[in-house]
Structure 1
Amino acid sequence: MTTFEYKGYDSSGRTQSGLIEAADPKDARKRLAVRGILAETVQAAGPSTRRGGQRQKTFTADIRTMFYREFAALLGAGVAMVPALDVILQAPELKQVRTLLAAVRDAVREGSPLSAALANTARQVTAFEVAVMEVGERAGGMNEALARLAVFLEEQEKLREKLVTALIYPALVVALAVIIGGLVLVFLLPMAQRVFVEARMELPMLTRVILTGGRIFGVLLLLGAVATAVAWGEIRRRIRTKAAWRIRLDRRLFRLPLIGGGWQNLVSLRFVRVLELLLERGVGLMESVPLAGRASGSAWLEDCARRETAALGEGKPLVAVIRGIQPLHPSLAAWVQAGEAGGNLPELLDHAAQRYQQSWDRLATRGMMFLEVGLTMVVGLFVALIALAVLLPILQMNKGFHP
C-alpha cells in the first residue's frame, strides 16, 4: 500500500484534502468515491507534494527534533517502527510535514531502513543524523540513538536562536544605513552637484570622492552579484560531483581564522558523539571509526578516518589513529588514551564531547560578538562619511553666499 495525498470536493461542494492509503492512484480515487469525495488531484506522498499551490513546509531542525523525540519515546515503549510512525502521523504538531512522514512510513514498510528513508525523502536531514540512525540500526538501540539525536539538535537550535537574536539589531541597523546611504548617493548628492555646477562652484573633495565611489560601487556590486551567483552554482556542482574538490575546500575551511576553530570543534563533537554511541553498543573499531568520520560532516575528516581505519586493521593503536586524523581536535587523543588506560573509554568520550560542546558555544558566541562590533563600526564609519559628504557642500555654499 502507498500513501497518496488528495484534494477534491465532497457532495456539498466543500474542499476536502488529506491522505489515503491505496494500491495506486486509480484505487485511491475509488476509495475516495466511496467516501463521497470527488478527487481533483491524487499524487503519491513525498517531499515534492504541494498544498494549495504552495510547497509544503520544510523539515526544519525544530520539527526534526520533535519527531526524533516522539519516535524515540514510542520505540522505547515497545511500539514497532511502522505503528509508531502511524501514531506520529496523527500528531497535530507535525501536521505540516505529515505528507513527508507518510512517504517515510511507506518506505520503511517496504523494507527500507529508517536512515535511508529519511535521507531519500527529506534533504534537510544531515549526514550526522543519518549516521546516528545507522548506529541505532546496526547496534539495536534506535530509541536511544534518536533520543541523543534530539538532544544534540535541540542544543544546536538553542545556540542558533541565540545567535540569530543577537544579530537582529545589527542587521536592521546595517539595512537602514544602506537604504539611507543609497538614497543620499542616488538623489541628494547629485542634486547638490547640479546646484554647485549652476553656481559655478566646486564640490568638496570628499563629496566628489563619495559620488564617484558610489557609482563605481554600484557597478561593482551588480557585477559581483552576477559573479557570485555563477561561482556559487559552480561550487555546488563540484561539491556534489568531485570528492577531491570537497576535501580540498574543507581543508581550507579549517585554516580560516576563528571559523576554522569553530568548525574543528563542531566536527570533533559530532565524531565523538557517534563514536561513543557505537562503542557503547559494542560495535567494533573497524566499523565505528569510518562511520563516525562520515557523521562529522567534514569531507576531509571522513577521508582521514577511512585511511586511518586501514592502518587500524594492521595493528595501529587507537590513540595513534586518532592522532592521524588531522582535522580532529588535538586534545581528543589524550582523552582516548586516558579512556583506554582506565577501561572507561565511552565515559571519557562523553566528557570530551561536553568539552567540545562548551568550546563550540563559546566560539560561536564570541564570533557573533566580533561580527556585531565590526558591523557597528563599519556602519558608523559609513554614516559619518555620508553625513560629511552632505554637510560639506552646505557649509561651502553658505560660506560662498556670505563673503
Structure 2
Amino acid sequence: MAQFRYVGRDAKGKPRKGKMISSSKREAIVDLRGKGIAVSEIHEIQETLLNKEITIGNPVKLQDFVIYLRQFSTLLLAGVTVVEATKILASQTQSKALKKALFQVEEDLRSGKPLSEAAQKHKKIFPPMFIHLVQAGEISGNLEEVLDRLAVYFEKQHYSIQKIKSALTYPIVILFVAMGAVAFLLTNVVPTFATMFEGFGAELPKITQFVLGVSAWMQTFWWSLFLLPIALVSSYILLNKKSYSKYYLDYVILKLPIFGKLLQKATIARIMRTLSSLFKSSVPILQALIIVEKVSGNEVIAKVLRESRASLERGQPLSDPMRNHWIFPPIVTQMVAIGEKSGSLDLMLAKVADFYDKEVESATDALKSLIEPLMIVLLAAIVGVIVLAIMVPMFEVFNHVQ
C-alpha cells in the first residue's frame, strides 16, 4: 500500500486536493473517478520521519470499527464476496489506519489467504476477539452471523466505555478548574494581603499562617503543579507495563471507593460478554479463556481466569476459582455454575453481562448526580478556608482599634 497526494476537480468544476491510500497510482485514479473527481495531478508520497503518522494507543476508534463490522456483515448478506466487500470498505472508511490495513488484507485475500490469517498480520487493528471469531465463522460457514455478533459485542463495549468516560470526565474537569481557581487565589490574591499582615506586629492566627505558608510555597514551586500530573501518568504507564506491578496497581484501582466498584462491574460485563460470544461461535472453552485473559485489561481478573482454565484442565468446574475470589460477586458464580450444569453457559454469561451493563449504567448516572454537589462543597470549603484566613486577622485588627 502507498499514500498518494492528488489534485483535481469534482463534477461541479470545483478544485479538489487531498491524500489517499491505494495499492497503485492507477487504482487511486480509478477510485477518485468513482467519487466524481477528475485527476489532473497525482504522485506518491515517500514516507519520512516528518510525514509518518504516529499513533498512541489503539490506532482505530472503536466507533469506526463497529461501523466497519456492520457494513461488512451487510455486504456479505447481500451476496458480495469477502474480497470485494473488503475493497469497498477500504475505500469508504474514514479511519486511515483501518483503510491501510484493509487494502493489505485485500491483497492477501486475492492471493488465496483466509480473512482470519490476513487480519492476524494487523494485530493493532484487529483484536484477538475478531480474529478467533472470524476463524470460527470461516470453519462453520456463517461468517455473516459472526460479523453481526461482533458488531453487537463491540457496540455494547463502546457504549459502556462512553458511559464510564462521561462519568469520570466531569469530576476530572471540575477538579482541574478548582485547582486553577485555588492556584490563582494563592499566587495572586493572598500575597497582596501578606504584605499588609506583616505590618500588624502581632502573631497571626494558625489558619492564616498555614494559608500564607502554602501561598509562599506555591509562588516558589508553582511548576510542580505541572510536573505532578506528568509524574503520576508516567508512573502509571511504567507500572502498567510490568506484570507483577500491574497486578497490585489493578488491585488498588478496584479497591478505590465508588470508582473501584464501577470499574469492577464494567470489567465483569465485558469478560462475560466476550466469553458468551466465543462460546456461541463454537470456540473451544480453554482457547476462549486464553482470549478473555488478554482482553480483560485487568491482571486481578486475568489471574482468576488462569486459575479457572487450570481448574477445567483438571476436570473441575469453571466456577470454583471464581467462587473463591472476592472480585466475582455470588450472582456471577451462581449463574456460571447453573450454566455449566444445564449446558447453557453462553446464555447464562450473556444474562450476567446484560445485568452488569445495566448496573454500570445506573451507577454512572448516580455518580454524575452525586459528584456535582460534592465538588461544589469541596471547592466552597477550600475557598472558604482561604477567605477565612484573610478575614480573621482583619477582624482582630478592627476589634483592637475599637
Length-normalised TM-score, structure 1: 0.76
In the alignment, which of 38, 45, 68 is matched to residue 41 of structure 1? 45
Determine whether 1:153 maps to 2:157: yes
Length-normalised TM-score, structure 2: 0.76
Distance between the aligned counterparts of 2:192 and 2:28, measured in 1? 68
How much has 1:273 moved relative to structure 2?
0.8
CA gap 1:249/1:185 in 2 versus in 1, 3 angstroms: closer
Distance between the aligned counterparts of 2:227 and 2:53, measured in 1? 32
CA gap 1:391/1:381 in 2 versus in 1, 3 angstroms: same
How much has 1:133 moved relative to structure 2?
0.9
What is residue 182 of structure 1 aligned with on the other side? Answer: 183
Paired AA for residue 60 in structure 2: F
Task: Say whether the 8 Å CA contact 1:135–1:145 is kept in structure 2.
Answer: no
Distance between the aligned counterparts of 1:116 and 1:26, measured in 2? 28
CA gap 1:70/1:218 in 2 versus in 1, 3 angstroms: farther
Determine whether 1:191 maps to 2:192: yes
What is residue 363 of structure 1 aligned with on the other side? Answer: 363
What is residue 210 of structure 1 aligned with on the other side? Answer: 211
Distance between the aligned counterparts of 1:26 and 1:144, measured in 2? 34
How much has 1:269 moved relative to structure 2?
1.2
In the alignment, which of 144, 160, 167 is matched to residue 163 of structure 1? 167
Task: Say whether the 8 Å CA contact 2:239–2:245 is kept in structure 1.
Answer: yes
**Bigger mean CA deviation after superposition, 277-286 or 189-198:** 189-198
SS of aligned partner of 2:257: coil
What's the Cα RMSD here?
A: 4.0
What is residue 18 of structure 2 aligned with on the other side? Answer: 17
Distance between the aligned counterparts of 1:49 and 1:335, measured in 2? 46
What is residue 308 of structure 1 aligned with on the other side? Answer: 308
What is residue 139 of structure 1 aligned with on the other side? Answer: 136
Task: Say whether the 8 Å CA contact 1:301–1:325 is kept in structure 2.
Answer: no
Identity %: 17
CA gap 1:137/1:390 in 2 versus in 1, 3 angstroms: same
Distance between the aligned counterparts of 2:182 and 2:247, measured in 1? 41
Pairwise mapping of residues 320-339 of structure 1 onto structure 2 (< 5 A)?
320=320, 322-323=322-323, 327-339=327-339
Determine whether 1:379 maps to 2:379: yes
Q: Where does the alignment leave 5 or more consecutive residues of structure 1 unmatched?
A: none
Distance between the aligned counterparts of 2:131 and 2:189, measured in 1? 62
Determine whether 1:79 maps to 2:77: no
Equivalenced residues, count: 376
Pairwise mapping of residues 41-60 of structure 1 onto structure 2 (< 5 A)?
41-43=45-47, 48-49=52-53, 59-60=60-61
What is residue 6 of structure 1 aligned with on the other side? Answer: 4
Distance between the aligned counterparts of 1:254 and 1:178, measured in 2? 26
Paired AA for residue 135 in structure 2: R
Paired AA for residue 148 in structure 1: V
**Partner deviation per Cα, 1:263-298 (whole Å, 9 max, x = no partner):** 322222122112111222222222222222322222
Distance between the aligned counterparts of 2:62 and 2:198, measured in 1? 59
Distance between the aligned counterparts of 1:43 and 1:15, measured in 2? 23
Distance between the aligned counterparts of 2:228 and 2:190, measured in 1? 29
CA gap 1:265/1:205 in 2 versus in 1, 3 angstroms: closer
How much has 1:182 moved relative to structure 2?
3.1
Pairwise mapping of residues 224-239 of structure 1 onto structure 2 (< 5 A)?
225-226=226-227, 229-230=230-231, 232-239=233-240
Determine whether 1:106 maps to 2:97: no
Distance between the aligned counterparts of 1:303 and 1:176, measured in 2? 39
**Partner deviation per Cα, 1:31-75 (whole Å, 9 max, x = no partner):** 99x95425383449xx9538xxx99x9633433333333333334
CA gap 1:281/1:256 in 2 versus in 1, 3 angstroms: same
SS of aligned partner of 2:4: strand
CA gap 1:253/1:149 in 2 versus in 1, 3 angstroms: same
Task: Say whether the 8 Å CA contact 1:335–1:352 is kept in structure 2.
Answer: yes
How much has 1:218 moved relative to structure 2?
5.8
Task: Say whether the 8 Å CA contact 1:62–1:157 is kept in structure 2.
Answer: no
Paired AA for residue 247 in structure 1: Y
SS of aligned partner of 1:384: helix
CA gap 1:6/1:323 in 2 versus in 1, 3 angstroms: same
Task: Say whether the 8 Å CA contact 2:308–2:319 is kept in structure 1.
Answer: no
Task: Say whether the 8 Å CA contact 1:207–1:390 is kept in structure 2.
Answer: yes
Paired AA for residue 352 in structure 1: V
Task: Say whether the 8 Å CA contact 1:136–1:144 is kept in structure 2.
Answer: no
Paired AA for residue 303 in structure 1: K
Task: Say whether the 8 Å CA contact 2:105–2:119 is kept in structure 1.
Answer: no
SS of aligned partner of 1:5: strand
Distance between the aligned counterparts of 1:158 and 1:197, measured in 2? 52
CA gap 1:270/1:365 in 2 versus in 1, 3 angstroms: same
CA gap 1:200/1:171 in 2 versus in 1, 3 angstroms: same
CA gap 1:373/1:9 in 2 versus in 1, 3 angstroms: same
Task: Say whether the 8 Å CA contact 1:309–1:321 is kept in structure 2.
Answer: no
Distance between the aligned counterparts of 2:324 and 2:131, measured in 1? 25
Pairwise mapping of residues 278-357 of structure 1 onto structure 2 (< 5 A)?
278-320=278-320, 322-323=322-323, 327-357=327-357
Distance between the aligned counterparts of 2:286 and 2:178, measured in 1? 56
How much has 1:381 moved relative to structure 2?
0.5
